[in-house]
Every structure is written in structure tokens, then in C-alpha cells.
Amino acid sequence: MVRAATPRPKGPEHTEVRLPVIARLLELGWSEGQLRWDPEWRVPRTPHDSAKRERSTSFESWPVDLVIFDSDEHIGEWEHALAILEFEEPTLEEGQSQLEIYLSREPRAKYGFWTNGDQSVAVYKLADGSVEAIEGANLPRPEDNLSKPSSEPPTYARLNTPPRLTHPVPFARQPPQRAGVSISEPDVPALDDEEPHALPAGTRLLP
């Protein structure tokens, strides 16, 4: 449930950029049922708002110019948001920054694209949470792989060592238990690493 918000007025970027981009996406093979722009998709403003959305409660949000979903059947479901496209920010740097924020709020979206009609940038969300930006990118095609691996694959050397316990909890050895029966372990003399054990009286050693 999205908290009621006043729709953004459609500026010149709507007719000069968004509508031509939608037409081009359809030419590239995307289905009209996969494209959400009217009404505009809403991205949660904060991680707390993301949690509210997952619980289907009211949340604060930002409007997005265009979102591509992975199929017609799942349009409007945040779990199936594939790509975020923006056209409003005036500069490439501002558009890229906006995409990075939106991608961080949409856990399933893998790709963002900004253009003002003259410049463009594609932003890929990598597996390790970082992003990769490619300036001058073309619009995505349905057959494109919008997932990119991390720049450095995970290795053992990059794993964080878990902190050691300041006060480790001792584990007391307990005898096995069965229902209604207490089983005692036989008394075994403690071993001494320095002194040999004496043999019982009368023990004969084999030659």
C-alpha cells in the first residue's frame, strides 16, 4: 500500500524522452504489459519503508519514470521489478546518482538506465552490492543479461574473520540420557602426560 501522493506533473521530458523511449523499447521486443509508467511506480524512500511495503502497509516513496517487470503476469509486484529508467534529472551525474539510490531500494531490480535524449548511462547492480556504470549505453533488449558479476569474485582471503568470544562458554561433558534411565560412565583414571601409570599388583608382562 502506497501512501497517497500527488502525481508529478508531466514535464517536457515526458513527451520528448519518456514516450520515445517507450516506443523504442516496444520495437526492441519488450511487451507493453511489462512497462509501468502510468501510474508511475513508487520506490520506498528508506529501508524502513521497504520493510513496510513488504508487510503491505503504507510507506513513503519516490515516483519512478518507468519500470520494466520480468513478465506481464507480474507487473506491479516489487519482487519482479527488473529495471528502473529515469529521464527527469538534467545531468548524467545526477541521473546516475538517482539510479543508484533507487536500485538500493529495490532489492530485485538489477539494472538502471538514465537518458535525457542526448546522453545516457546504464547502472548495473553487482552481486556484492556495488554498482558498475557504463556511459553511452543503449537501451536494454529483452534477451540481454542484466545481471553482472562482482568485479572481484569472492575468495577465502576476502572473507571476514568472525570475532572471537571474549568469555567463551565452557561445555561440560554430560553422560548420555535415555527416557527414564540415567546412564553413568565408568570411572576411568585420569591420564598423566608426564608420569607413567603403575600396573596393578600381580600383572605379568609378556616377554
pLDDT at 153: 63
Tell me the average pLDDT across 123-149: 93
**Each residue's pLDDT tens digit, 24-39:** 999 999 999 999 999 9
Output the CA torsion sign for 43, 49, 53, 56: negative
pLDDT at site 129 = 83
Average pLDDT over residues 170-194: 48
CATH architecture for residues 13-141: Alpha-Beta Complex (3.90)
- Please give the pLDDT value at position 193: 45
pLDDT band for 187, please (50, 70, 90 cuts).
low
* Confidence category of residue 9, pLDDT binned at 50, 70, 90: low
What per-residue confidence (pLDDT) applies to 152? 67
Residues of the chain with pLDDT > 90, as a percent, come to 60
DSSP assignment of 127-152 equals: TTS-EEEEETPPPPPTTS---B--SS
**CA–CA separation, 134 and 122 (whole Å):** 5
Q: Report pLDDT for 202.
A: 57
pLDDT over threshold 90, residue 46: yes
Torsion sign, CA atoms 68, 74, 80, 81: positive
* Host H or E run for residue 182: strand 181-182
Encode pLDDT of 129-141 as tens digits.
899 999 999 999 9
Q: Are 100 and 131 in contact (CB under 8 A)?
A: yes
As a whole number of angstroms, the distance between CA 50 and CA 53 comes to 5
